Amino acid sequence: MLPDKLMLMGIKTVLEAKVKEAVLSIFNAELPAVEFQPTRKDFEGDITVVVFPMLRVVKGNPAQIGEQIGAFLEEHVEEVSAFNVVKGFLNIVLNDSFYVDFFNGIKDEANFGSVEEVAADAVMVEYSSPNTNKPLHLGHIRNNLLGYSVAEILKASGKKVYKTQIINDRGIHICKSMLAWQKMGNGETPESTGLKGDKLVGNYYVAFDKAYKAEIAKMLSDGVDEKVATKEAPILLEAQQMLIKWEAGDDEIVSLWKKMNGWVYDGFEITYKNLGVDFDQLYYESDTYLLGKDVVADGLKKGVFFKKDDGSVWIDLTEDGLDEKIVLRSDGTAVYMTQDIGTAIQRVKDYSDIKGMVYTVGNEQDYHFKVLFLILKKLGFSWAEQLHHLSYGMVDLPSGKMKSREGTVVDADDLMVEMTNTAKKISEELGKLGEYSENEKQDLYKMVGLGALKYYILKVDPKKRILFDPEESVDFQGNTGPFIQYTYARIQSILRKAKDTGVDFNAMAEVSDNLHPKEKELIKQLQLFPDMIQLAATNFSPALIANYVYDLVKEFNSFYQQVSILGETNESKKALRVQLSKKVSEVVESGFKLLGIEVPERM
RNA sequence: GGUGGCAUAGCUCAGCUGGAUAGAGCACCUGCCUUCUAAGCAGGCGGUCCUAGGUUCGAAUCCUAGUGCCAUCACCA
């Protein structure tokens, strides 16, 4: 007998071998492979063998072939209790003992579905990576949730993971905020205004833009050409001067830069904490923006890059179907690409066990990463084969695109507060939280509100664009986070009562219990969890986990509706149902943990 | 214009390596709370899977062409 954990894998292997054996003995033909699929709900059976592909080696009527193979399996495979053939599909019915054994095998397994860490196989996941001139918005939320969740999924799939971000803390955009604050700030601070630091700095970024636009308008009315005006508005020139001073290490500018960035970091920290994401290592662009130049020099020697007459350095990717791309300016300064090359190499130096990296960045940068990865491969780094751009679609509003300058962005902090308030409103209307303290209630509202937000975003395939409808995102019914949390809370309620009434949580399920169809369906669904984690990891897709958990919960609710759990008079059956409910809630909890969503004891 | 992505019910989305009558939720209509939490369950309505070809026993899924939307094609980041 196989170890219980291997039952699922085992049954396929056993069936495959037996089907081949059947074909050999009945038709005297060698079958290269057997195709299985889960049996559709409308038919009786648990697993289905597709007969059509066999027609290549076996001549005959698919239905008849199915019948003959089915009869052979029923006779020779212990787990097969019955079969039926519809068209070319051989539906196999497995007996209860198969399911009972499987369930007994996993019911006490603590981290069911996850795989032990294989330390030699580390991957670095980069996400968030904001600019320090304005607060985080809905787009960053998608980025953070995706990156965090993929990191958790990779961990569960057996990888060692380092979570990181590169903070874009330098450049002209920060100088704009700094300059506006210098000119109009009157010494304001987060303390003096009561504003979150990132919000305060963001306000000055907006103030800069306003002043800049006003200057352009004035220049235009003075008869200046529009192109000239946008390039030569005094305040813009001043910001550019500031950047030059910063790069030269000017004391005054650098200390202002440190002060204002400090405010922003304090603000970001609050947002990250509320969002429930974290990082193992931070990289700052101010530390890395000079990296990569020596690599370019090196690559130039190797002939990977070439120099143009003006001194700029390029790579020719036309043979790979791409264009020429600049990697170093003619004045010898770095471009974005230079920096990314340098940073990637630096990371592998910092963490020698890294075998791959994941970059969570919006799909508008698809081309950039395609080029970056290609360059790193051409430079000959072995780890360059394992780079992945976790590219995701933009988040749009029903009104169209979010644009910070037009004030149509959805602020991350505001959104979280709004979702929490909605959860509070709904919860109060339902009024089920009598025994909760005020603090416990607040925690729950936040848990539910954020659960709704996170699930709403993560259930969508990352590469697809999201239409964020505030109305719909606030819906807590149907395929939503709160619906799943609710099911979890209901199970917890049953488990509390089960404990009080002395249900045996350790009893082994018995074949003689005669599994209810709904129980069987639940066990089938549970069986899929480990595979689902692996699939989500290879596809970098939290959406697969979200949809899996939803299906599991749907199945449970149906079970809950049809059969009585605590009302069951047969003690052994009752124990099975309680334990099954417990296992479902554990899988919901682990699945949601992979999405960064918490589950409540009651709601 | 070149390149890449996306296109499935009124709306928002699933659909794994090609498989049976394409599935959920929302919305709309019916039922079900003196029994484990109705944020639930059961049922109904609703589809030219963008279009046209092709490959295959079989295509929403793979290939080709076209249409639409989005992104990208800077000595910006």
CA distances (Å), origin A366, targets A143, A175, A320, A362, A373: 15, 28, 15, 8, 11
pLDDT at A4: 36
Cβ atoms of residues A391 and A464 within 8 Å: no
Q: Whole-number Å distance, CA A54 to C1' B56?
A: 14
Q: Distance, angstroms, CA A463 to C1' B49?
A: 19
Average pLDDT over residues A580-602: 97
Q: Work out the pLDDT band at A327, boundaries 50, 70, 90.
A: very high
Q: What does the alpha-carbon distance between residue A240 and residue A423 come to, in Å, rounded to a whole number?
A: 46
Tell me the average pLDDT across A19-38.
Answer: 90
Q: What is the mean pLDDT of residues A201-214?
A: 93
Q: Which nucleotide is nearest to A332 (CA to C1')?
A: B75
The per-residue pLDDT for A118 is 77
Q: Residue A179: pLDDT band by 50, 70, 90 thresholds?
A: very high
pLDDT band with cut points at 50, 70 and 90 for residue A287: very high
**A168 falls in which pLDDT band (50, 70, 90)?**
very high
Which nucleotides on chain B have any atom < 7 A from a protein Cβ?
A: 3-7, 11-17, 19-21, 24-27, 35-42, 57-58, 70-77
Q: If you average pLDDT over residues A258-287, what whole number do you get? A: 96
ipTM score here?
0.95
Which residues lie closer than 8 Å to A479 by C-beta, 6 or more apart? A459, A550
Alpha carbon A24 to its chain centroid, in Å, reads 46
Nucleotide nearest to A335 (CA to C1'): B75
Q: Whole-number Å distance, CA A533 to C1' B24?
A: 21
Distance in Å, residue A42 CA to nucleotide B11 C1'? 28
Give the nucleotide at minimum CA-to-C1' distance from A337.
B77
A53-75: per-residue pLDDT in tens? 998 888 888 999 999 999 999 99
Contact partners, residue A105, CB within 8 Å, separation at least 6: A3, A4, A5, A7
Lowest mean pLDDT among A259-268, A292-301, A394-403: A394-403
What pLDDT does A41 receive?
83
pLDDT tier, A13 (very low <50, low <70, confident <90, very high otherwise): confident
Q: Which of A179, A113, A194 is nearest to A530 (CA)?
A: A113
Question: How many Å does it take to go from CA A466 to C1' B52?
Answer: 30
Å between CA of A479 and C1' of B30: 22
Q: What nucleotide is nearest A574 when CA is compared to C1'? A: B36
**CA–CA separation, A476 and A486 (whole Å):** 10
Query: Inter-axis angle of helices A571-594 and A542-562, to 10 degrees?
Result: 160
The domains of chain A, with CATH numbers, are 4-94 (3.30.1360.70), 171-278 (no CATH), 423-594 (1.10.730.10)
A456 compared with A319, residue with greater pLDDT? A456
Q: Where are the alpha helices (DSSP H) in A459-511?
A: 470-473, 481-500
Confidence band of A404 (pLDDT split at 50, 70, 90): low
Mean pLDDT, range A534-547, rounded to an integer: 95
Q: State the DSSP code for A363.
A: G
A28-32, A153-157, A399-403, A460-464 — which is least confidently predicted? A399-403
Angle at A256 between CA A255 and CA A262, to 5 degrees: 90
For residue A267, give Cα distances in angstroms to A262, A287, A360, A449, A569.
9, 21, 22, 21, 57
Say which residue the tokens 């636009």 belong to: A213
3-state class of A471 per DSSP? helix
- For residue A259, the number of C-alpha atoms closer than 13 Å in the C-beta half-sphere is 16
- In whole angstroms, what is the distance from residue A600 CA to residue A430 CA? 16
- Which nucleotide is closest to the Cα of A496 by its C1'? B36
pLDDT cut 70: percent of chain A above it:
97
Where are any strands of DSSP class E within A410-478?
Answer: 466-467
Nucleotide nearest to A429 (CA to C1'): B39
**Protein residue closest to B7, using CA and C1':** A464
How far is residue A479's CA from residue A570's CA, in Å, rounded to a whole number? 34
* pLDDT the model gives residue A9: 55
Long-range contact list for A453-456, CB < 8 A, 24+ apart? Answer: A453/A141, A453/A415, A453/A416, A453/A419, A453/A481, A454/A145, A454/A481, A454/A595, A454/A596, A454/A597, A455/A480, A455/A481, A455/A484, A455/A546, A455/A595, A455/A597, A456/A480, A456/A481
Helical (H) or strand (E) element with A360? strand A354-362
For residue A347, how many C-alpha atoms fall within 13 Å in the half-sphere facing its CB? 31
Which pLDDT belongs to residue A2? 34
Nucleotide nearest to A363 (CA to C1'): B71
What Å value separates CA A151 and C1' B54?
A: 42
What is d(CA A372, CA A447) in angstroms, rounded to the nearest whole number?
39
pLDDT at position A10? 64
A18-27: average pLDDT? 92
Look at residue A511 and tell me whether its pLDDT is greater than 90.
Answer: no
Q: CA of A365 and C1' of B55: distance in angstroms?
A: 35
Which sign does the torsion angle of CA A495, A499, A502, A504 carry? Answer: positive
* Amino acid A390 CA to nucleotide B12 C1' distance, rounded Å: 23
For residue A405, what pLDDT band results from cuts at 50, 70 and 90?
A: low
Going by C-alpha positions, the residue among A41, A42, A66, A44 that lies closest to residue A55 is A66
B70 nearest neighbour residue (CA to C1'): A465
Give the nucleotide at minimum CA-to-C1' distance from A448: B39
Q: State the residue for tokens 């975003």.
A: A457
Give the pLDDT of residue A117. Answer: 83
Alpha carbons A175 and A171: distance in angstroms, whole number: 7
Among the ranges given (A351-355, A372-376, A403-407, A568-572), the one the predictor scored with the smallest mean pLDDT: A403-407
User: Cβ distance A349 to A397 under 8 Å?
Assistant: no
Average pLDDT over residues A330-335: 88
Q: Which two tokens stand for residue A402?
A: 């979010």
Q: Tell me the CA–C1' distance in angstroms for A90 and B19.
A: 12
Share of chain A above pLDDT 90, in %: 76
Residue nearest to nucleotide B6 (CA to C1'): A464
Q: Which residue is nearest to nucleotide B41 (CA to C1')?
A: A561
Q: How many CA atoms lie within 13 A of A78 on its CB side?
A: 8
d(CA A467, CA A502): 49
Q: How far is CA A523 from the centre of its chain?
A: 26
Nucleotide nearest to A469 (CA to C1'): B12
pLDDT higher than threshold 70 for residue A261 = yes
Q: For A558-574, what is the mean pLDDT?
A: 93
Mean pLDDT over the full length of chain A: 91
In this prediction, residue A333 carries a pLDDT of 86
Tens digit of each residue's pLDDT (9 = 90 or more) over A93-116: 999 999 999 999 999 999 999 998
Q: Which two tokens stand for residue A526?
A: 């549970």
| pLDDT score of A44 | 87
Angstrom distance, A198 CA to B14 C1': 38
